[in-house]
Chain A
């Protein structure tokens, strides 16, 4: 799946991505995650102001017959959520790395990002996961 994943994102083993601009991180689900869930029909987003810790569950995404927990790629405070997803959760399917973003957070410890995978590492990880399915 080379070329699908943006180069300036960081990725988790639970298939979330984060894109950092200054001290703000925008969070979303990877193409692999949306593909495996199928048609997404509902997203439970965190509340603005919520304090999240890296690796903590912040919500769920649902397809018709599956539910998946989502985990925060970094620690920090939620400052904005993607309101468009409330009415159009399918944006996660159609544009997972763009219009389908989930929320933005103010990072409390940017050094945590070192724990995440860069695009090369994630592409390799994703290929292994794909083979295992």
Chain B
């Protein structure tokens, strides 16, 4: 990331590169008789001035975005141990197949007999995910994990309403949960109730018993949880919630830990979402697109969003007749282009490969956890799953070096930082998820960097608190970005 002297320190905005008359497009001439614009469009509907988009040549466009790409960390550049984000390697063959014209060029409303390949892929994918999650039916429609959560909770509410239990409005969420869980609950019209974690990092059973009642819609749980710990009481948790007439929702963010070892459906979860952009190796794209399919037990299948892909004889079709469907959560059939990549991943790994993925993800995490525990406080000292959480409390108390400083200093060592200050129940948290696609050598190099930073914190704390030193920009003023908001370039383009 550092020392690339041939790249401008500050890449201009594309608007600042604009010069009147330059163009980067090439379009055919009009080959039909032109209509009179004033005749076919009402005068008051006409745009008077073209949008002030930049005027640049193709070379300008390519250099600008190529330079910007170089000011960015990605999995293809190096280790990206962002906890709960599963930044594993994105196989290139998946990109190649997803770019086939027969997938990218297909209109979503094409007659079904002309898209049998796409429907077959979706149908099979529904089945694969059902098998991996231990559920009965799957919808591929949700576009991301949080979208899957909303879909899943909506399904549960519709199911309860159908049983005459529409009064239920409480969703129980552990204090270690992702922020999307409580936000989803409220978007779905529910109230959240927080349940504490016990001293082993799992759901505290007594607190849980104290909050379940006849108003409970569901418990939303990530398992292994955001501490990277498998909840050993999952069976009892399921019993407590089910006893009260509530359902169990599985947040699939951490499924990478347990493929072939435990299936949420077998553990009592009624609704499950999958993050294809985490577990199934599709790239995150700098923030998206994701894909968040939802799986359900058969009692809930009548409530899935439409359409679901089904098969009759050897013909695949889109079934819009799901009897009590919650409706739609977006247009068309989900993020198909992402599903294609995840499908290719599952086909290239096979059942044994997926199990091996979880094994190596867990082995890598435990190996790295033991190394970091030498210098950083380990809050929950037990075997972890795919990720773990250490705390920078020692460095903060002794040397005034905060976790944020440690994260920024890691950037100088060419590593992306772990997730920081999350989960909220661990002070100065550093949440590390190495994934299975990293080698022992990479883990050792990262551990060495973390050890070096621990030494620097003790011996030369300014070096850490002033980090990063080698990136294109230094630490940025986030307060200014709110106090003096500048979220769109308002300047004029160069005039003729």
- Residues of chain A touching chain B, judged by Cβ–Cβ distance below 8 Å, are 39, 41-42, 62-65, 89-90
Cα–Cα distance between A62 and B421 once the two chains are bound (Å): 17
Cα–Cα distance between A29 and B482 once the two chains are bound (Å): 20
Smallest beta-carbon distance B132→chain A, Å: 35
Complex interface: chain A residues within 8 A of B421 (CB): 65
The 4 tightest CB contacts between A and B, nearest first, are A41-B482, A39-B479, A64-B478, A41-B479
Smallest beta-carbon distance A50→chain B, Å: 24
**A–B pairs, 16, beta carbons within 8 Å:** A39-B479, A41-B479, A41-B482, A41-B483, A42-B482, A42-B483, A62-B482, A63-B479, A64-B478, A64-B479, A64-B482, A65-B421, A65-B478, A89-B483, A90-B479, A90-B483
**Which chain B residue has the least Cβ–Cβ distance from A88?**
B483
**Which chain A residue has the least Cβ–Cβ distance from B483?**
A41
- Residues of chain B touching chain A, judged by Cβ–Cβ distance below 8 Å, are 421, 478-479, 482-483
**Which chain B residue has the least Cβ–Cβ distance from A38?**
B479
**Which chain B residue has the least Cβ–Cβ distance from A63?**
B479
Smallest beta-carbon distance B420→chain A, Å: 10
Cα–Cα distance between A65 and B424 once the two chains are bound (Å): 13
Cα–Cα distance between A36 and B50 once the two chains are bound (Å): 49
Cα–Cα distance between A20 and B483 once the two chains are bound (Å): 31
Cα–Cα distance between A62 and B482 once the two chains are bound (Å): 10
Interface centre among A39, A42, A89 (most CB of B within 10 A): A39
Interface centre among B421, B478, B482 (most CB of A within 10 A): B482
Cα–Cα distance between A67 and B483 once the two chains are bound (Å): 15
Cα–Cα distance between A90 and B483 once the two chains are bound (Å): 9
Given contacts A41-B479, A41-B482, A63-B479, 13 further A-B contacts (CB under 8 A): A39-B479, A41-B483, A42-B482, A42-B483, A62-B482, A64-B478, A64-B479, A64-B482, A65-B421, A65-B478, A89-B483, A90-B479, A90-B483
Complex interface: chain B residues within 8 A of A62 (CB): 482
Cα–Cα distance between A39 and B421 once the two chains are bound (Å): 17
Complex interface: chain A residues within 8 A of B479 (CB): 39, 41, 63-64, 90
Complex interface: chain B residues within 8 A of A64 (CB): 478-479, 482
Cα–Cα distance between A62 and B479 once the two chains are bound (Å): 10
Cα–Cα distance between A89 and B421 once the two chains are bound (Å): 25
Smallest beta-carbon distance B421→chain A, Å: 8
Complex interface: chain B residues within 8 A of A41 (CB): 479, 482-483
Complex interface: chain A residues within 8 A of B478 (CB): 64-65
Smallest beta-carbon distance B382→chain A, Å: 26
Smallest beta-carbon distance B237→chain A, Å: 29
**Which chain B residue has the least Cβ–Cβ distance from A42?**
B482
Cα–Cα distance between A75 and B283 once the two chains are bound (Å): 54
Complex interface: chain B residues within 8 A of A39 (CB): 479
Smallest beta-carbon distance A123→chain B, Å: 23
Smallest beta-carbon distance A133→chain B, Å: 8
Smallest beta-carbon distance B39→chain A, Å: 50
Smallest beta-carbon distance B394→chain A, Å: 16
Cα–Cα distance between A64 and B478 once the two chains are bound (Å): 7
Smallest beta-carbon distance A100→chain B, Å: 15
Complex interface: chain B residues within 8 A of A90 (CB): 479, 483
